[in-house]
Chain A
């Protein structure tokens, strides 16, 4: 097997990063936080919208593969929206659901109670106050157990 090594020229990014001027990490993070905080309500609305989509009855005649893809997309969008706002338990729940949907047979036989359970759990996580640590942990633990039972121990981290 031939390995061709292209010796890296300094990228433009590398050339500019240490140039005089710029901003400190502290200021950059404070600015990013301020920018993102302004989007938090929109993120929560998007999460609620995708949870509702997961709980909605299926369109009659929708092929199983399509239904799985739509549920995967909803779950994935919940992670996207929750990610910057430290809603880690919501992300864990949605990621578990993505794992289960990804592993589902495309030709039928998926247990559709699983997305419903996950969506109800996520609805609860979204509604619980931030300091309800024990209740949040219990929900996440239960979902991990579902994942462990369906996919095996390796996936339930």
Chain B
């Protein structure tokens, strides 16, 4: 069980009472668990949704500040939903922080987990403390969003270190020259 992280001091104060939050999970009990944990944090989920399709409909109409999305759902799964959201062009929802939760990730879905564009994927078991830590982390996550090939989402590099060697990732993606970078404010 993950314990309280260093970034969570008991006396630290945060204010997410006004966050319009959406939970997407096909399991009614998991929805209840997540909603109750969030309520404890002072976040009253505005939308608790049982399917990716319903989530899509709401996201097209209402701005949402934080999404907590289960990965494994029938029809539209969590990865597909987040991938759609990032590419949707919806403003501001396409850039909203997304935390994905997974009880188990199928081997065939590992690449989707990495490439769907979520800010964070949390695998169970996780404690309420860990969930809160991740929420506060994504609230302060200032990584830029990148469009790279088929990917659209937060920069997947967590560390900002200079690398003097060859750009092998670009080679793997089939590029023959160094990457071009375009910055959009």
Contact = CB atoms under 8 A, between A and B. Distances in A.
Given A17-B136, A39-B32, A84-B127, A25 B142 contact: no
A76 B95 contact: no
Given A1-B148, A77-B27, A98 B139 contact: no
A83 B37 contact: no
Interface stretch (A4-12, A58-66, A112-120, A125-133): A4-12
A26 B10 contact: yes
B124 interface: yes
Q: Which of B13, B38, B97, B140 has the most C-beta atoms of chain A within 10 angstroms of its own C-beta?
A: B13
Nearest to B167: A1
7 contacts: A2-B179, A4-B147, A18-B15, A22-B15, A83-B33, A83-B126, A84-B127
B148 A32 contact: no
A122 interface: no
A31 interface: yes
Which 7 A/B pairs are nearest by Cβ-Cβ distance? A22-B15, A32-B40, A26-B10, A31-B40, A79-B103, A98-B104, A4-B147
Interface size class, chain A: 35 or more
Contacts of B41: 23, 28, 31-32
Nearest to B181: A3
A108 interface: no
Nearest to B145: A6
A21 interface: yes
A25 B8 contact: yes
A5 B104 contact: no
B148 to A, nearest CB: 5
Interface of B: 1, 4, 8-20, 27, 29-30, 32-33, 36-42, 63, 65-66, 72, 92, 95-97, 103-104, 106-108, 124-129, 132, 136, 138-149, 170, 173-175, 179-185
Contacts of A26: 10-11
B37 A86 contact: no
Given A28-B42, A83-B124, A8 B142 contact: yes
A57 interface: no
A32 B128 contact: yes
Contact of A25 (B11, B65, B103, B183): B11
B146 A3 contact: yes
B183 to A, nearest CB: 5
